[in-house]
């Protein structure tokens, strides 16, 4: 009786490992989901740097706009001038979610389609104004800080090939190379200083009835490991890099890095 119980317990402990080691034949169409953590390329972050020239500039928004100028002048109880413009704007790391289709022609080669959504927002974007009544030595100057916030939606499609290099039944390295198309839309763009919180989306686009948007094209590559979780589940974990050209700033490429996980069902 004791021997039977011990055998049952041992079998129950080894059963999950048996499932882990099983590798199903993925030949044909597979589908699954994607989750990742992306560091978006900072080239497009310059969109939010409201400078001193062009239609989108701080002079026009804060001083040239009578309503905004009066509101801030009353808040500071003083006249003011622009002191420092924003620069070196970057994106915050952000979560990415999506789905994947993967068609295996054989055990080690597949053609895949990824659809990935993310909403990057900017950080470290600030400017300042100087109150005019305090002039003379630097110690007498009064500087008031303002900030600029912004957020976008991006939907990226990738079509590429997947190649694996089996080492053993559980862990298999892989590489992926794809062409990529990315749709980017600015969702929020706001300036905050004193008692003023001003949306400047309409300054960013010639069409005041729509948000600024762009389509970019480029490439993506990834590497990592794949392993069977169970008979019906397959895990891909790795690191990817993409280079997208949106055509906003001459020939600037937006280089994004990401930690990616895909699960095939």
* CATH of residue 95: 2.40.160.20
The answer to the question of residue 4 being in a domain is no
| CA gap 170, 172 in Å, rounded | 7
Total structural domains within the chain: 1
Has residue 105 been placed in a domain?
yes
- Bigger pLDDT: 61 vs 163: 163
Picking from 234, 260, 256, the residue whose alpha carbon sits closest to that of residue 35 is 260
**Is the CB of residue 208 less than 8 Å from the CB of residue 199?**
no
Cβ contacts of 59 within 8 Å, gap of 6 or more: 52, 82
User: Domain for residue 61, yes or no?
Assistant: yes
Handedness of CA 4, 9, 12, 14 (dihedral sign): negative
> Which of 23-27, 78-82, 150-154 has the least mean pLDDT?
23-27
Most confident region among 54-63, 215-224, 225-234 by mean pLDDT:
215-224
- Residue percentage of the chain with pLDDT more than 70: 83
Domain presence at residue 191 = yes
3-state helix, strand, coil in the chain (%, to 5): 20, 55, 25
What is the predicted pLDDT for the residue at 150?
93
Domain that holds residue 100: 28-264
Q: Is residue 58 domain-resident?
A: yes
pLDDT reported for residue 27: 87
**What are the tens digits of pLDDT across the range 137-169?**
555 678 899 999 999 999 999 999 999 998 876
pLDDT for 19 equals 42
**Radius of gyration (C-alpha) of the chain in whole angstroms:** 26
DSSP result, 224-265: EEEEEEETTEEEEEEEEEEEEE-SSSTT--EEEEEEEEEEE-
**14 assigned to some structural domain:** no
Tokens coding 243:
């280079």
Please report whether residue 41 resides in a domain.
yes
Q: Is 108 helix (H, G, I), strand (E, B) or coil?
A: coil
Decide if 256 is inside a domain: yes
């Amino acid at each position: 009786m004791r021997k039977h119980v011990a055998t049952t317990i041992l079998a129950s402990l080894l059963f999950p490992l048996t499932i882990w080691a099983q590798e199903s034949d993925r030949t044909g169409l597979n589908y699954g989901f994607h989750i990742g953590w992306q560091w978006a390329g900072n080239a497009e972050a310059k969109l939010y740097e409201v400078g001193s020239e062009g239609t989108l500039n701080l002079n026009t928004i804060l001083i040239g706009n009578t309503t905004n100028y009066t509101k801030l002048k009353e808040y500071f109880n003083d006249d003011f001038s622009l002191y420092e413009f924003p620069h070196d704007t970057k994106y915050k790391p952000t979560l990415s979610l999506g789905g994947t289709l993967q068609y295996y022609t054989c055990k080690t080669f597949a053609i895949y389609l990824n659809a990935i959504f993310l909403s990057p927002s900017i950080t470290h974007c600030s400017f300042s104004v100087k109150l005019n009544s305090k002039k003379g030595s630097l110690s007498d100057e009064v500087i008031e800080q303002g900030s600029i916030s912004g957020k976008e939606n991006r939907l990226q499609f990738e079509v590429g090939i997947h190649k694996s290099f089996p080492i053993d039944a559980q862990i298999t390295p892989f590489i992926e190379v794809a062409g990529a198309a990315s749709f980017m839309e600015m969702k929020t763009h706001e300036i905050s200083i004193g008692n003023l919180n001003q949306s400047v989306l309409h300054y960013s686009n010639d069409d005041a009835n729509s948000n600024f948007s762009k389509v970019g094209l480029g490439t993506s590559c990834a590497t990592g490991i794949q392993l069977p979780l169970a008979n019906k589940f397959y895990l891909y974990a790795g690191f990817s890099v993409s280079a997208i050209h949106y055509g906003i700033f001459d020939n600037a490429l937006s280089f994004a890095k990401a930690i990616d996980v895909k699960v095939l069902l």
